Structure 1
């Protein structure tokens, strides 16, 4: 893709991160046409987030991996692969006589490396968060090949926060935002765990232990 290029666009209320696989159910005629064009020609397109009813400036370049299922009425289940990030320079409602729109897009290259100390802290804090909540992400995290985007959906960001995270320019900026969010989530999860514990108490005799009052009286 050239630095600035006109490509089809698919606005959605979702943030897609680089290297992510996304699965979609396609039912609108214009986007069924887009996916068919991708299947026939290898066309790539941009997914731009819709937040607060507005199409955002930064998005993700994706390509079709597979049409998983075609329904009798023409609806499609598809798999897409995110292959890069783009900046929306100009939006066009129609592209080359097609039903779908397009954008003039500028490719965004990010080759920055993250600080190892920050990464180690994130790995440790993410482990703490998972332990508190007795939960693990659907996809395993490969820490040896880690990029900040791998945790973007797993730390409790809102859609707007995911977008702000994806728009950061360097890996260290994203790592720092991840760390801040993990610390917030750990604090909230700890409070929730204590609340659940108190909610489930049923007249138990509470033993605080001698060590909890040593040095106070």
Structure 2
């Protein structure tokens, strides 16, 4: 089923349930935020990658944090549903902002408890390696989208995750990514520690060792 959404293209990927802070300064998007506030409409943020638009996330305005005399504002939005674009319109009817006919994609919540726990354990391990505090998120609220911006994914990889319509597939992809990424970071940390330890050798004087013999090590 098609529906029409106002569009706010950005060079980023927005995930469902994500809390997003935006600074609105262009006139067309000031108009969009006013319409969201007055008419309670939602809008779409399609990922603008390589000058292309295809997928994005519907978002809802949750709060206007601050309004400026210029008409600009700081707002908080919340990600809702993933959509694919059928037809993009540079302006939506008589509005300044763009619009698009979209189809909402069904999200299959088929991830297993085992996948979820494995995923969480890997994320915790990554945060430990990076010496970053693990965020306090209730277990039941954690999904494959919860840490997607903080796993070292490229923009294209984030878009790939967004396009996956099964939670189980997203877990498989992210678990594979973390399984490869974490050992690399651990090795980098180990190398860094060795370099730091090697600093102790700056005071090494070979003349201090006067009693030694030459030969192969057994």
Q: TM-score range by the shorter chain?
A: 0.7 to 0.9
Residue correspondences, number: 202
Q: CA deviation at 1:142?
A: 2.6
Partner of 1:161: 157
CA distance in 2, matches of 1:22, 1:114: 25
**Partner SS for 1:46:** strand
Write the mapping of 1:82-121 to structure 2, written as runs, cut at 5 A: 82-121=79-118
CA contact (8 A) 2:46 2:56 kept: yes
Q: Which runs of 5+ in 1 are unaligned?
A: 206-216
**Partner SS for 1:43:** coil
Partner of 2:126: 129
CA distance in 1, matches of 2:61, 2:119: 32
Moved over 3 A (4+): none
Structure with greater Cα Rg: 2
1:67 and 2:58 equivalent?
no
Q: Work out which of the residue numbers 6, 9, 12 in structure 2 matches 1:11.
A: 9
Per-residue deviation, residues 166-194 of structure 1 (Å, max 9, x unmatched): 11121110001110111122112111101
CA distance in 1, matches of 2:137, 2:179: 19
Write the mapping of 1:1-217 to structure 2, written as runs, cut at 5 A: 3-55=1-53, 57-137=54-134, 139-201=135-197, 202-203=199-200
Of Structure 1 and Structure 2, the greater strand share is in 1
CA distance in 2, matches of 1:28, 1:188: 42
TM-score (norm 1): 0.88
Across the aligned residues of Structure 1 and Structure 2, the Cα RMSD in angstroms comes to 1.6
Q: CA deviation at 1:136?
A: 2.5
